[in-house]
């Protein structure tokens, strides 16, 4: 596996940013095999992390080796994967510019069946937001201890909420996962498979139960898992292995 720390300029953000990328070892021409564009997992970080967090805190590089899948881990700071009221256009960046730039640098597949997204906490919100907003681009998405109900964030982090969303009520908007789930589940066309998990000691457990209930009524293809665990890397290191085994990767 190759571990690449890539620094590049984002036209959307108007600044230099970074992504950490894991690539499978290439199959060289003299091996008798052709190197096809790699299936890709866009793996998203949480509120207090950056693009290096998954590689520093878990063994993600070792875990993905047997799957022959690339992993793209972008940097989005405290944006909640949203076009911020007071900040950068991180939704446009993550949903449009990042895949285009990553595919220009690396041999990544653009086929829907080869593209997946996952994340923890804030990144779990981002992963579901990506897949539910663009089911035509993502075959599957996973949320680990996801901040799936942003409305509750207004009470926990009022200043940050105002910086990201302003004073608006996000219910029924494209920033509301419950709204996106309802819209996507009732629309025509392909729908992503969804994986949701949360530890029973996690402070986001009740929010995850509410989203689980919405999923159960949606008709979507989903898996929900819970068990002992807190909002920490011990839990996420174990669960990301379950996510990789679940992903519909062409084996």
pLDDT reading at 174 higher than 90? yes
Residues facing residue 222 across a β-bridge: 194
Question: How far is residue 46 from each of residues 11, 29, 51, 64, 248, measured CA to CA in Å?
Answer: 23, 39, 9, 20, 24
Show the 3-state SS of the chain. CEEEEEEEEECCCCEEEEEEEEECCCCCHHHCCCCCCECEEEEECCCCCCCCHHHHHCCHHHHHHHHCCEEEEECCCCCCCCECCCCCEHHHHHHHHHHHHHHHHCCECCCHHHEEEEEECHHHHHHHHHHHHCCCCCCEEEEECCCCCHHHHHHHCHHHHHHHHCCCCCCCCCCCHHHHHHHHHHCCCCCCEEEEEEECCCCCHHHHHHHHHHHHCCCCCEEEEEECCCCCHHHHHHHHHHHHHHCCCCC
Q: What is the pLDDT of residue 114?
A: 98
Q: What percent of the chain has pLDDT over 90?
A: 91
Q: How far apart are CA 13 and CA 206, in angstroms?
A: 34
pLDDT reading at 33 higher than 60? no
Burial class of residue 140, CB neighbours in 10 A (0-12, 13-18, 19+): buried
pTM above 0.85, yes or no: yes
Mean pLDDT value of segment 170-176? 95
pLDDT reading at 246 higher than 70? yes
Q: How far apart are CA 74 and CA 248, in angstroms?
A: 22
Least confident of 165-169, 206-210, 214-218: 165-169
Q: What is the pLDDT of residue 30?
A: 63
pLDDT, one tens digit per residue, over 6-17 is: 999 999 999 999
At 36, is the pLDDT very low, low, confident or very high (cuts 50, 70, 90)?
confident
Domain boundaries, the chain: 2-27+35-246
pLDDT reading at 32 higher than 60? no
pLDDT reading at 251 higher than 70? no
Q: How far apart are CA 109 and CA 151, in angstroms?
A: 35
Go through 178-217 and write b for each residue having 16 or more CB atoms within 10 A of its CB, e for each that does not.
Answer: bebbbebbeeeeebbbbbbbbbeebebbebbeebbebbee
**Mean pLDDT, the chain, integer:** 95
CATH 3.40.50.1820 correct for 2-27+35-246: yes
């Amino acid at each position: 596996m190759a571990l690449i720390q890539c620094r590049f300029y984002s036209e959307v953000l108007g600044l230099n940013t970074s992504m950490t990328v894991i690539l499978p070892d290439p199959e060289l021409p003299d091996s008798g095999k052709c190197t096809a564009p790699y299936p890709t997992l866009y793996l998203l970080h949480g509120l207090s992390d950056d693009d290096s967090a998954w590689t520093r805190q878990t063994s993600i590089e070792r875990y993905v080796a047997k799957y022959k899948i690339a992993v793209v881990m972008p940097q989005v700071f405290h944006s909640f994967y949203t076009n911020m009221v007071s900040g950068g256009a991180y939704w446009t960046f993550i949903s449009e510019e990042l895949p285009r730039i990553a595919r220009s640098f690396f041999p990544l597949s653009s086929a829907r069946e080869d593209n997946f997204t996952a994340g923890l906490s804030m990144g779990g919100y981002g992963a579901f937001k990506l897949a539910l907003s663009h089911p035509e681009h993502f075959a599957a998405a996973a949320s680990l201890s996801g901040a799936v109900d942003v409305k509750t964030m207004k009470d926990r982090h009022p200043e940050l909420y105002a910086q990201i969303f302003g004073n608006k009520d996000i219910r029924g908007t494209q920033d509301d996962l419950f709204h996106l789930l309802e819209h996507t589940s009732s629309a025509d066309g392909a729908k992503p498979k969804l994986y949701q998990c949360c530890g029973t000691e996690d402070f986001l457990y009740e929010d995850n139960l509410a989203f689980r209930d919405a999923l159960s009524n949606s008709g979507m293809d989903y898996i929900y898992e819970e068990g002992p665990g807190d909002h920490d890397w011990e839990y996420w290191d174990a669960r990301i292995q379950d996510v990789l085994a679940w992903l519909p990767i062409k084996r």
